[in-house]
Amino acid sequence: MERMGTDGDAWDAAWDRSLWIGGCGGAVYRDGEDLGEMTSLPPSITTTDSCSSAGDGGSPDIPRRKRSSKPRTRARSPTQLVRLRRLRRAKANDRERNRMHMLNHALEKLRTVLPAFPEETRLTKIETLRFANSYIVALARTLESAGGGGGDDGGAGGGVRDADGSVLLAVGNVTVRLGRDGNT
DNA sequence: TAGGCCATCTGGTCCT
DNA sequence: AGGACCAGATGGCCTA
């Protein structure tokens, strides 16, 4: 499997140009699984017969209403049902893939607004979320203390003003320096 | 080699 | 019926 880089502008460009898989054609079945050989269908897939009995009145005690000339669902052969199920799965996989890509894209954006780390130490997903949380708390504390407020719940630390006017923020076990112009 | 991280597939559930 | 969201399973890649 090819691993896709998720950094910044190139990713954005690819995303904007919709280069991501645009259909179900690319789906790969694990271990060459062939659903065509399935002998039973999941409960969610019902045959036309069962649908029609339920839909037309349910219990056998109740007199059946006159059948509409147009069936609610088209009759499908088992082969057609298997194909339909495969198609739906492939489409669901595609959507799920895109959903995760969007999630990763958002995570990548979040990384860019967090204080920079050396290139080699790219934050993992969980680290990014935790650090973002601590960072926000620390920034909020700094704002609060700048406005004369107080309060402390033992989480990320507040800011300490440096000699040159920049603010030192304790975010977890990392100290971040915010310059007077707001840069880190 | 074990363990961490990640992408992907999958089935279930809820909602429209 | 179909889409969104979620969590578990699986397998690949990388590093200590």
Closest amino acid to nucleotide C12 (CA–C1') = A1
3-state secondary structure chain A: CCCCCCCHHHHHHHHHCCCCCCCCCCCCCHHHCCHHHCCCCCCCCCCHHHHHHHHCCCCCCCCCCCCCCCCCCCCCCHHHHHHHHHHHHHHHHHHHHHHHHHHHHHHHHHHHHCCCCCCCCCCCHHHHHHHHHHHHHHHHHHHHHHCCCCCCCCCCCCEEECCCCCEEEEECCEEEEECCCCCC
- The predicted-structure confidence for A25-83, as pLDDT tens digits, reads as follows 333 333 333 333 333 333 333 333 332 333 333 333 333 344 444 555 667 777 888 88
Strand C proximal to A122 Cβ, under 7 A: no
Q: Which domain holds residue A88?
A: 75-113
Same domain, A119 and A176: yes
Please report whether residue A52 resides in a domain: no
Strand C proximal to A53 Cβ, under 7 A: no
Closest amino acid to nucleotide C13 (CA–C1') = A3
- The predicted-structure confidence for A150-164, as pLDDT tens digits, reads as follows 444 434 455 666 666
Number of structural domains found in chain A: 2
Paired with A137 in beta bridges are none
Residue type, A152: D
Mean pLDDT of chain A: 61
Same domain, A142 and A121: yes
pLDDT-based confidence at A119, cuts 50/70/90? low
Strand C proximal to A125 Cβ, under 7 A: no
Strand C proximal to A181 Cβ, under 7 A: no
pTM over 0.75: no
User: How many Å does it take to go from CA A99 to C1' C14?
Assistant: 25
Same domain, A100 and A135: no
Q: Is pLDDT above 50 for A11?
A: no
